[in-house]
Amino acid sequence: MLFCEENFDIAVIGAGHAGIEASLAAARIGCKVVVFTINVDFIGNCPCNPSIGGTAKGHLVREIDALGGEMAKTTDACSLQSRLLNASKGPAVHSLRAQIDRRHYGEIMKKKLEIQKNLYIKQTEIVDILRDPKENCFFLKTRTDVKYKVKSVILSTGTYMGGKIFIGKTSFNSGPDGIFPAMFLKKSLEKFGVEFKRFKTGTPARILKSSVNFEKMIPQFGDKKALAFSFETNSSEIKNHSLCFITWTNEKTKDVVLKNLSKSVLYSRETKGIGPRYCPSIEEKFLRFKDKERHQVFVEPCGLNTDEMYLQGLSSSLPEDVQVLLYSTISGLENAHIVRCAYAIEYDVVDPLQLTKSLEFKNVPMLFCAGQVAGSSGYEEAAAQGILVGINSARKILKKPCITLNRQNSYIGTLVDDMTTKGVTDPYRIMTSRSEYRLLLRHSNADERLTPIGREVGLISDERWKRFQKKLRLKELEMKRVKSTFIFPSKRNDETLKSFAISKIESKIKIIDLLKRPEINYKVLKALKVSDVNISKDILDQVEIEIKYEGYINRQINNIKKTQRYLCRKIPNDINYKKIKGLRLEAVEKLSQMRPTNIAKASEISGVNPADISVLIIWLMKLSKKAL
């Protein structure tokens, strides 16, 4: 053995979305950290969609930011187009999504790692991990025969461990984007008794911009008033630089795919991996949604300095010649030139039931696991776990208690609770329906819920803390003001309300009661000159939401209490879940397969969400009423 590096507290294996947040958090809390990656030019790589956020994923990004993480700020810095999804629906499901410059995202993150005090990057493959219980440390061995002695290890190897690519009948060991895989680490971890699963995921092709006929597609614009992801970024800085385009598959596309199904990884005897239920390949879409005539395809930019376009919705593992054929059937893609073809990747995953709520291995103290390798899917899910393990690994070294986030205060807590108690049967994707507290866990109040925790662990600077406290004070003042200020009927107010087609007020009314009316908002209050112009829109939005949704929020809290009361309720043996209206397809499948005897057991099944449990409880209550 040539030599050993001795003076690091934490080793982070992987500089992907999980590893970046983990290493930055641990270094900022005060530990000396080394982060390993197979290729430093792919730090923060986005091997799949060039976008950050989306439904519920946008909530995670805001929560990471509220804790003091980096994903949100970096996304704002390389945003190509920003949209608030579900804007026409309730605030619980409002979620940001930004198209990003994929290469620039990685460059910014690499720089942040390079300039971070206490943090050292190393391009090498870790091939072995040994534990020395006497010295209470780990020894990591690299492919180039160097040894590292560290107190704690964070495993965030993404899709690289045992990585295998499938394109039609062709398969070969590889990580994403042509980077070599990590083929040795699994064996080493199995020595610790770590159990694995085999998952897979897929990505669509990237095609050349000049080979696309955009006139045949529908342009998709960013929001006029784009919102920033980070609470630290001024939204006026977010500009929409690029357009996305929408087109659809058709009967001919379906024909090409179904005729060539046998050539897809779905039918390869070689693959054992289970794919993501909520990111299906185009093959799976045509198989699972037979009645659907067409599937939407988004043609998305990958960056400002590249002409590669990403085909969102066309993930596949069909052979390249079939891919060319299927694109040629799609309006606007008839002459598409493939720069990188679509493929599926299979990889080893740690069963998260072996992890505690702080994502530490129950049987291997100081060994943590985060990201895709822990069974999730997505940059946001990975980064969310990354910041948690970075905080907890560092706190354990500094002899401080770990923090656990829970279902009441965050989607991060919901994700970790689901994965470590229910386990995963396919790559876990966060969704708002997974949270029974979703009205409380809005993307817009992530800072109120988590910034105090970020401050407690040392990731929120004094300046930022002061700004945050000022925001809370202003919100409190505004809440007090609307609760105590009356507005009186007057000719002027009647005319103003009339200009908004709102009926006049008959008698004096408190602003808070006026705001409870669905047609009244701060724009109307401003016109009535009863709104404090010095308070920022995001604070006024929070006040308005809390006033308008107070009833729903209380009902949600009561529902949760009711669920807790019903946990022991027995479920009849002969129940036919297909007959229960409102149960999601995944829940029907899982409940029919597992046949739980009571509500508590039903709620422990992976893929059965709190919303499904509420539907089941209501159904059982009706059943018992009928029996009476």
Ligand X SMILES: Cc1cc2nc3c(=O)[nH]c(=O)nc-3n(C[C@H](O)[C@H](O)[C@H](O)COP(=O)(O)OP(=O)(O)OC[C@H]3O[C@@H](n4cnc5c(N)ncnc54)[C@H](O)[C@@H]3O)c2cc1C
Q: Is 415 near ligand X (CB under 6 A)? A: no
Nearest approach, Cβ of 226 to ligand X (angstroms)? 23
3-state secondary structure (DSSP) of residue 206: strand
Output 160 or 522, the one with its CB closest to ligand X: 160
Nearest approach, Cβ of 39 to ligand X (angstroms)? 6
Q: How many residues bind ligand X (CB under 6 A)?
A: 38
Q: Which stretch binds ligand X (CB under 6 A): 100-108, 370-378, 414-422, 467-475?
A: 370-378
Q: Is 201 near ligand X (CB under 6 A)? A: yes
Q: Is 372 near ligand X (CB under 6 A)? A: yes
3-state secondary structure (DSSP) of residue 426: coil
Output 379 or 566, the one with its CB closest to ligand X: 379
Nearest approach, Cβ of 146 to ligand X (angstroms)? 12
Nearest approach, Cβ of 179 to ligand X (angstroms)? 7
Interface with ligand X in residues 345-364 (CB under 6 A): 345
Length of the chain counted residue by residue: 628
Which of 52, 71, 109, 126 lies at the binding interface for ligand X (CB under 6 A)?
Answer: 126
Output 138 or 231, the one with its CB closest to ligand X: 138
b/e burial code for range 135-158 (CB count within 10 A of at least 16 → b):
eebbbbbbeeebbbbbbbbbbbbb
User: ∠ CA 419-424-426 to the nearest 5 degrees?
Assistant: 135
Q: Is 99 near ligand X (CB under 6 A)? A: no
Nearest approach, Cβ of 17 to ligand X (angstroms)? 4
Output 15 or 450, the one with its CB closest to ligand X: 15
Pairing of strands 218-220, 33-37: unpaired
Nearest approach, Cβ of 151 to ligand X (angstroms)? 19
C-alpha 429/C-alpha 434 separation (Å) is: 10
Q: Is 37 near ligand X (CB under 6 A)? A: yes
Q: Which stretch binds ligand X (CB under 6 A): 239-247, 298-306, 375-383, 620-628?
A: 375-383
Nearest approach, Cβ of 82 to ligand X (angstroms)? 19
Q: Is 16 near ligand X (CB under 6 A)? A: yes
Q: Is 158 near ligand X (CB under 6 A)? A: yes
Pairing of strands 10-13, 33-37: parallel
Q: Which of 72, 5, 78, 15 is nearest to 44 (CA)?
A: 15
Output 48 or 545, the one with its CB closest to ligand X: 48
Q: Which stretch binds ligand X (CB under 6 A): 153-161, 254-262, 332-340, 555-563?
A: 153-161
The amino acid occupying position 602 is: A
Output 157 or 444, the one with its CB closest to ligand X: 157
Contact yes or no for 293/320 (Cβ under 8 A):
no
Q: Is 79 near ligand X (CB under 6 A)? A: no
Q: Is 98 near ligand X (CB under 6 A)? A: no
Nearest approach, Cβ of 282 to ligand X (angstroms)? 12
| Contact map string, positions 38 to 67, toward ligand X, x by CB under 6 A | xx-----x-xx-------------------
Q: Which of 250, 240, 263, 343 is nearest to 297 (CA)?
A: 250
Which of 51, 99, 156, 317 lies at the binding interface for ligand X (CB under 6 A)?
Answer: 156
Q: Is 367 near ligand X (CB under 6 A)? A: no
Output 23 or 531, the one with its CB closest to ligand X: 23
Nearest approach, Cβ of 465 to ligand X (angstroms)? 28
Q: Is 342 near ligand X (CB under 6 A)? A: no
Distances (CA, A) of 510 to 485, 499, 517: 6, 21, 12
Contact yes or no for 249/323 (Cβ under 8 A):
no
Residue 442, burial from CB neighbour count under 10 angstroms (0-12, 13-18, 19+): buried
Q: Is 17 near ligand X (CB under 6 A)? A: yes
C-alpha 585/C-alpha 434 separation (Å) is: 14
Nearest approach, Cβ of 127 to ligand X (angstroms)? 7
Contact yes or no for 33/27 (Cβ under 8 A):
yes
Beta bridge partners of 85: 95
Residue 302 has phi, psi (to 5 degrees) of -105, -10
| Tokens, residue 445 | 């109040």
Output 124 or 493, the one with its CB closest to ligand X: 124
Output 142 or 559, the one with its CB closest to ligand X: 142
DSSP 566-621: HTT-B--TT--GGGSTT--HHHHHHHHHH--SBHHHHHTSTT--HHHHHHHHHHHH
Q: Is 426 near ligand X (CB under 6 A)? A: no
| Tokens, residue 576 | 């036919």
Which of 15, 297, 324, 430 lies at the binding interface for ligand X (CB under 6 A)?
Answer: 15
C-alpha 66/C-alpha 467 separation (Å) is: 13
Q: Is 109 near ligand X (CB under 6 A)? A: no
Output 19 or 91, the one with its CB closest to ligand X: 19
User: ∠ CA 168-170-173 to the nearest 5 degrees?
Assistant: 125
Residue 95, burial from CB neighbour count under 10 angstroms (0-12, 13-18, 19+): buried
The answer for residues whose C-beta is within 8 angstroms of residue 52's C-beta and 6 or more apart is 61, 71, 75, 97, 98, 100, 105, 229, 379, 380
Q: Is 341 near ligand X (CB under 6 A)? A: no
| Contact map string, positions 570 to 609, toward ligand X, x by CB under 6 A | ----------------------------------------
Beta bridge partners of 196: 350
Output 159 or 563, the one with its CB closest to ligand X: 159
Q: In what order do the strands lie in the sheet with 4-5?
A: 4-5, 147-150, 137-142, 126-132
| Contact map string, positions 252 to 281, toward ligand X, x by CB under 6 A | ---------------------------x--
Q: Is 204 near ligand X (CB under 6 A)? A: no
Q: Is 419 near ligand X (CB under 6 A)? A: no
Q: Is 68 near ligand X (CB under 6 A)? A: no
C-alpha of 73 from chain center: 16
Nearest approach, Cβ of 533 to ligand X (angstroms)? 41
Q: Which of 179, 163, 173 is nearest to 123 (CA)?
A: 179
Output 176 or 413, the one with its CB closest to ligand X: 176
Given the rule CB under 6 A, which residues bind ligand X?
13-19, 36-39, 45, 47-48, 125-126, 156-161, 176, 182, 185, 201-203, 279, 345, 371-373, 377-379, 382, 429
